[in-house]
Amino acid sequence: MFIQCSDCDYKYIVNSADLKPDGRMVECANCNHRWFQEPLQADELLSSSVPKTSSGELQTNEKNTEIEISTKEIRNLPSTVVREKKVSLLNTFLVIFLLVFLFFVFWAFRYYGTNIFVLVAFYINEFFFNSRMIIDDLAKIIYQILN
C-alpha cells in the first residue's frame, strides 16, 4: 500500500501487514516528520476474516500497545521511497531534433530527385526473394537426405 508524508508529500510503498491491526507510528525518511498511520479500510475488510480474541485480551493488548508506542523509539517501516519522475528536457530536445532531421532528410531526397522510398522497397523485396530461395534450397536438401 502507499502512504504519504503530510509535510513533504514523499510517497512510500509499505507492506500493509506492518500496519495491522491498529496502525503504528511512522517517520518520514526525508523530513523526519512523525505521524500515526492507520491501515486502510480495504485492509480492515481482509483482517475481519481473522478470528478475534476475547474482549479481555483485546483491552490488555490495546493498553500494552499504547505503552509500547509511548516508551519505544519510533522506527521507520521497511519501505521504498516512490519518487515522481520528472520530464527530461534533454530527451525532449533530442526527440524534436531527430524528427526535424528526418523531415529534412526526406525533403532533401525528394527535392533533389532521389526517391528513397523506391530504393527501400527494392531492398526489402530483394531480401524476401533471397530468403525464399535459401529456404527452397534447404527444403530440397532435406528432402534428398530423407529419401
- State the pLDDT confidence band at 118, using cuts at 50, 70 and 90: confident
The per-residue pLDDT for 41 is 63
- Is residue 73 within 8 Å of residue 47, measured between CB atoms? no
Q: Report how far residue 19's alpha carbon sits from residue 38's, in angstroms, rounded to the nearest whole number.
A: 7
- Is residue 20 within 8 Å of residue 43, measured between CB atoms? yes
Q: Is the pLDDT of residue 145 over 60?
A: yes
Locate all alpha helices (DSSP H) within 41-147, ordered by sequence: 41-47, 55-71, 89-111, 116-146
Q: For the chain, what are the domain ranges?
A: 2-82, 87-114, 115-147
Which residue's C-alpha cell is 493488548?
Answer: 61
Among 9-13, 26-30, 78-82, 141-145, the minimum mean pLDDT is found in 78-82
**Which SS3 state, helix, strand or coil, does residue 135 take?**
helix
Among 38-42, 88-92, 129-133, the minimum mean pLDDT is found in 38-42
What are 139's three cell numbers?
A: 527444403
Give residue-wise pLDDT tens across range 49-108: 445 554 444 455 555 555 455 444 445 555 566 667 778 889 999 999 999 999 988 788
